[in-house]
Amino acid sequence: MLQVKYDREQILNVIQNVTRKTLDMDLTWDWPCGVAYYGVSRAYQTTGDSEILDKLVKWADEYIELGLPSWTVNTCAMGHVLITLYEETGDQKYWDIVMSKVDYLQNHALRFGDRVLQHTVSTANDFPEQAWADTLFMAAFFLLRVGSKLKDEAMIQDALNQYYWHIKYLQDPSTGLWYHGYNNVNKDHMSGFYWGRANAWGAYTMSQVKPQLKEWYLYPQCMDVECSLRDQLAALKLLQTEDGLWRTVLDDAESYEEVSASCGIAAAMINNGNPLHTKYVQKALQGVMSHISEDGRVLGVSGGTAVMKDREGYRNIPKDWIQGWGQGLALAFLSDMLRQGE
């Protein structure tokens, strides 16, 4: 078990501030909001603050009345908060939307090869036969949560198939690190960089597999997930900066430190539970906390990032604005921090 030292009341106060700021951001029904409100849901589960739930319900109901967008892999990220809303309120309309997203992913979303989900950001065929690490959070983890809840073996297997092939396509076996994307047409990793947030998507979602599946050891793909995460975290710990963070290109000393990636990676270490990672999580906590303003803005978060053409493309993504994914991953990290000590 990790032995991280922290001030519980201080972290609770930061969670409340970040949650309040996130709910004031006027986010729309897409992946930035999906990640943000996943974090807000985790904050609600950690604090039990009914005001958070009331605000989520009010936002969702207003958006549903106004009309929802077409489904893509990215918009399916909104399914995470809908699971929480259904579980807490019992309102069937939330679950109906969850299942419409599941239907899209299972029956209509673009796939290639061994039924691997192609990453989609719009209704167009934006990135033909490309697998991105982002898909694990937006779709595979979501499918796993729903499949586990319904005890739907076919859905669980579909989700685990996504994990399996994303590991095969994106993890470099020689380093343990993850590439951002894979192009199945050209059979390459495009620019071939170890992008920080891609590694966070991979690590965080893999750390959630065991909690979702009580008999995880009966699924052979879970052995791949366990070993992949083990090797990835062993590599990542060596790339942590003196400030406790990870860079936007992990092995590039000229790339800036990036907070959303750092939150996802540190949360994965917490959930994986290796006591030897205690000192890395401790440093990450200090680094992340130093980048959260008093009014709840998570700073040092890079903008939305496609698979860039070169190193300069990643280095030059701006980090001057707060982002939904930064808020959400910070809330997930801090919530996991508190819950691991319970």
Q: Which amino acids are annotated catalytic?
A: 134
* CA gap 203, 332 in Å, rounded: 13
CA 67 – CA 55 distance, rounded (Å): 18
Choose among 168, 164, 162, 192: nearest CA to 180. Answer: 192
Please name the residues in contact with 253: beta carbons below 8 A apart, sequence gap of 6 or more: 247
Q: Whole-angstrom Cα distance, residue 10 to residue 309?
A: 41
Four-residue CA torsion sign, 233, 300, 2, 224: negative
CA distance 39 to 320: 21
Residue 41 carries which side chain, given as an amino acid letter?
S
Angle subtended at Cα 232 by Cα 277 and Cα 188, rounded to the nearest 5 degrees: 165
- The neighbouring-strand residues paired with 258 are 246
Copy the structure tokens of residue 330: 């910070």
Residues 6+ apart with CB under 8 A from 16: 43, 47, 49, 296
Residue 312, burial from CB neighbour count under 10 angstroms (0-12, 13-18, 19+): exposed
Tally Cβ neighbours within 10 Å of residue 215: 7
3-state secondary structure of 183: strand
Dist CA 171 CA 234 (whole Å): 13
Provide the b/e sequence for 283-305 (b: ≥16 CB within 10 Å): bbbebbbebbeeebbbbbbbeeb
